[in-house]
Structure 1
Amino acid sequence: MKSIKFTVILIFMMSLTTFHAQEVVVVDSTGVAQENNEVLTTSIVKDTIKVPFKRFKAEGVTAVVGDYVVLDSDIDKSYLELQQQGIGVEDITRCQLLGKLLEDKLYAHHAKQDSIVVSEAEITSQVDQQIQYMVSELGSEDKVAKYYRKDNIAELKTELYTVNRTLKLASEMQRAVIEKVEVTPEETSQFFYSIPEEDRPVFSAEVEVAQIVIEPEVNEEARQGVIERLNSIREDIVDNGSSFATKAVLYSKDGTAQKGGLIEGIQRNSPLAKEFKDQAFSLLEGEVSEPFETEFGFHILTVDKIRGQEVDVRHIILFPELSQDVIDAARAEIDDLREKIVNGEITFEEAAKKYSDETETKNNGGQLVNPVTGDTRFDLTKMDPTLSAQVYNLENGEVSKVYNDRDYTGKSKFKILTVTNKYDEHKADYAKDYEKIKALALKEKQIREIEIWQDKKIKETYVNVNEDYLDCDFSSNWIKK
């Protein structure tokens, strides 16, 4: 495990994080405007980090990989990116970061060669989110454009689009390389027992948690109330010519409201409610749907543009207004249920299966699944802080107090939790920790697969590295010695 290449590990850490992290903005080949046209960089002496100094920005070509160019300033911005993510850069060299950038370009180049397709709408949405974040930090689009030394925000968006598209191509190519890699039980066993006992990993304390959720019932009166509100909004749009986008800004209750309810690039396999997609693909441009319900709320929808197999839509979503009597009834129900569980009249598992309103967990007796690992164990040091606070002091089988949670819609729901198992911090045990050990074995095999792929593709691809970096001790054969 100690022999795993630095740059290969770094691409696992950074390539997906860079593309998805909304708060981090790194502009490839775009200088950050500083006083006197200077940028902060780090000197390299015998491939070690020294005290940062300022130098004049020089947009020299550091390397070429296939169709892609790496500039020296790209390395500077990689340092800034790592610092923005809270990653220490003291022990990371310019050679190592160049190696990582070369890998990104190699992936992107071969993604194009292999005709890997990325969602243009997804990339556009990513750019919009990045611009919104920068505007919130700097105050206006003009200030953002000036900060990044662009004549206007459109020029910056174009450059950001190119960067994000390259990163997405790289990440999709990496996924394609490793998607079919699997490990057998025999390989898992060989992996584990090849690690000296004193070097075997230590797993943090973990818990398994179950919960019961009771939601206030949406009665017919509340349903009709929200449908009437949507019909009124629809009538004003259809009959009086009011702007759908303006109505969405004023009334819609989700995050698309600030964009006038706009959702771009919907495809038939997009991860949206079936009812929503049915409406999106059944309307003509400019048509406004009747009110309809999904698991998320009540909507009206209009089609902005049809582009082949993709559609751009705007929607308005509202939620039923529940009376206090309905909310109080739900609270009384869960209080009574908790009392029966504590008194031994019914088990937590039985109560969850019979009474819980959370469809994802009720059939498993309320057992929660860790969305990161896919199993039922939660690392106490990595849990969602809210959930951790609710279960941290619970003993096995103990039932929590009643919690009043609100989802992103503002809707109240009541829940109780219990810890079904606790696992203390311990050194890896093959029998008890098989799934975790299997995951580690799979990761090592994926890394080996990536190394093999890289070695092969570097030989097949035009690569040229600037003479300033020919002394770098790259983990891959970029110099083709």
Structure 2
Amino acid sequence: MRFINNRLSLFVIFAFLGMFAASAQEIIKETQKDTVKPSVPQGRIKVDGVIAVVGDFVVLESDIDLMYREMQAQGMPVKDIPRGELLGKLMEDKLYAHHAIQDSIIVTDADVNETMNRQIDYFVEQIGSEDKMVKYFKKKNIETFRAELFEMIKNQKLTEQMQKKIMEGVEITPEEVRQYFAQFKKEDLPEFGAEMEVGQIVIKPEVTQAEKQIVIDRLRQIKKEVMDGSSFYSKAVLYSEDPGSRSSGGFIKMNRKSPLVKEFKDAAFSTDEGQISEPFETEYGYHIIYVEKIRGQDLDVRHILISPKVTPEAIQKAKEKIEKIRQRIVSGEISFADAARSESEDKETRNSGGLLMNPRTLETRFELTKLPPEIYSDVNDLKDGEVSRPILSESQRGEKTYKLYTVANRYDQHIADYAKDYTKIKDLALKEKQKKAIGKWSDEKIKSTYIKISPEYQNFPFVNHWVKK
């Protein structure tokens, strides 16, 4: 959802490949301890063999073929990658997903749909059209493709949640950080890339009351049409501007702890089951909510989001305002940081003097290669302390803002220094400890989980001990 406070990160390439290569998987029941022969569902022809079973999941020979094809499509060299290595990766994913289900980890349909829609948009962009996409992945039609992709993404998210659960209890002490750093010889110390701190000032065009009223009236009309018999689901698909829930008819499962803005939760919990709220405003626009089901403190709701549009006159006024702010900074009347605190309309960066926060490290430093591309192109040529010209920016939701950027500080590429880079070293040490925790968990679960591997793969030198002696 666009109005959830934090956004999801992108899939890393191997996680994505593992997800998509699972297209032929079936959940099976073990009927005989000496065989790997799941029953074939009615109406489906078995076209290739089962090469591994992990808990309730199987891996097919064709899964590895698909993985190779996806790697080639991404331009990755596959000549020297043995099939057993890819099988090991697929089996790891199945192990996590199996135990996530056993541990009652929940992945919501809305969350899966949001990721699926982004993935389909990416495929269409890369391949050219939905028809070409379906043909490329050798599916019968778009409905079959979406159904299979839904299950793949759901299993991948189960894997991610299981890994997160394993790692969330792992903590590290300052002494462990010191010991981790002390193990490196001088010539083997980590090297950190060049970094910079970027400041921004954001001015948003003012939305007129007339534009707000247009949206309120439109939502009230939609509400009336639904009460007269129209489908809320269809209205959400047609008119909602929330890309995260639009394709699922605006559907959201929520409770008091859900990471939604306060106004949305207040409206949802003050609306009776089967009723539709009046239009209400959040920072993302105006909404109406239909409360579909109440189960104690858990709600099933659908919503429609529409944002008021800004006029050309409002955009021009915002530009004039930010140009005056820039003139004051350049003339020395006010510092960039003070101008951000007093004038910027971005609440997430205003209190820090405009400094952007790196969502990966929760620090203000960004490695140059990991700056968002749209920001990197705007700040790359700026000198220290220089202020950019006003830049008109448009979000994925269509919200237009004017921005000023400055490079507050630059940090050259350098060998790790314990005092100066403690936070980064701590992060590396924690990741190492988390990796060991996952390895220990895997070893224990492999011993207690039903696993069967086809004979032709049993002598492969897997990283994990899949073959039980």
Normalised by the size of structure 2, how large is the TM-score?
0.81
Distance of 1:439 and 1:359 partners within structure 2: 27
Maintained 8 Å contact 1:212/1:356: yes
- Superposed CA deviations along residues 335-361 of structure 1, whole A, max 9, x for unmatched, are 222111112111111111111111111
Maintained 8 Å contact 2:113/2:248: no
Aligned pair partner of 1:29 in 24, 30, 39: 24
Structure 1 residues 295, 124: CA separation in 2 closer, same or farther (over 3 Å shift)?
Answer: closer
Once superposed, what is the RMSD of the aligned Cα atoms? Answer: 3.4
CA positional deviation for 1:226? 3.3
**In the alignment, structure 1 residue 207 sits paired with structure 2 residue 196:** yes
Write the letter of the residue equivalent to 1:403: I
CA positional deviation for 1:223? 3.1
CA positional deviation for 1:132? 6.7
- Superposed CA deviations along residues 277-297 of structure 1, whole A, max 9, x for unmatched, are 333444456533222101101
- Superposed CA deviations along residues 227-266 of structure 1, whole A, max 9, x for unmatched, are 334334444554x655555555555444369648533434
Aligned pair partner of 1:73 in 46, 58, 62: 62
Aligned pair partner of 1:466 in 454, 459, 467: 454
2:418 — aligned with what? 430
Structure 1 residues without counterparts, runs of 5 or longer: 1-11, 32-56
Maintained 8 Å contact 1:230/1:300: yes
**In the alignment, structure 1 residue 113 sits paired with structure 2 residue 139:** no
CA positional deviation for 1:101? 1.7
The aligned runs of 1:113-192 (5 Å cut-off) are: 113-127=102-116, 144=134, 148=138, 157-192=146-181
The aligned runs of 1:266-281 (5 Å cut-off) are: 266-281=254-269
Distance of 1:409 and 1:286 partners within structure 2: 29
Aligned pair partner of 2:380 in 379, 388, 392: 392
Maintained 8 Å contact 2:253/2:300: yes
1:61 — aligned with what? 50
Structure 1 residues 155, 346: CA separation in 2 closer, same or farther (over 3 Å shift)?
Answer: closer
SS at match of 1:415: strand
- Superposed CA deviations along residues 348-396 of structure 1, whole A, max 9, x for unmatched, are 1111111111111111111110122211111111211221111112222
Q: Number of matched residues?
A: 438
Maintained 8 Å contact 1:78/1:97: yes
Maintained 8 Å contact 1:30/1:148: no
SS at match of 2:345: coil
1:297 — aligned with what? 285
Normalised by the size of structure 1, how large is the TM-score?
0.80
Distance of 2:60 and 2:293 partners within structure 1: 39
Maintained 8 Å contact 1:27/1:160: no
Structure 1 residues 102, 411: CA separation in 2 closer, same or farther (over 3 Å shift)?
Answer: closer
Aligned pair partner of 2:317 in 329, 332, 336: 329
Aligned pair partner of 1:442 in 430, 445, 457: 430
Distance of 1:260 and 1:466 partners within structure 2: 40
Write the letter of the residue equivalent to 1:144: V
Write the letter of the residue equivalent to 2:337: E
CA positional deviation for 1:112? 2.8
Maintained 8 Å contact 2:382/2:407: yes
2:361 — aligned with what? 373
Structure 1 residues 283, 144: CA separation in 2 closer, same or farther (over 3 Å shift)?
Answer: farther
Structure 1 residues 195, 317: CA separation in 2 closer, same or farther (over 3 Å shift)?
Answer: same
Structure 1 residues 172, 245: CA separation in 2 closer, same or farther (over 3 Å shift)?
Answer: closer
Percentage of matched positions with identical amino acids: 47
1:88 — aligned with what? 77
- Superposed CA deviations along residues 110-131 of structure 1, whole A, max 9, x for unmatched, are 2233333332443355456656
- Superposed CA deviations along residues 166-218 of structure 1, whole A, max 9, x for unmatched, are 32222222111111112222222222232222222322211001111122233
Structure 1 residues 348, 413: CA separation in 2 closer, same or farther (over 3 Å shift)?
Answer: same
**In the alignment, structure 1 residue 454 sits paired with structure 2 residue 449:** no
**In the alignment, structure 1 residue 404 sits paired with structure 2 residue 381:** no
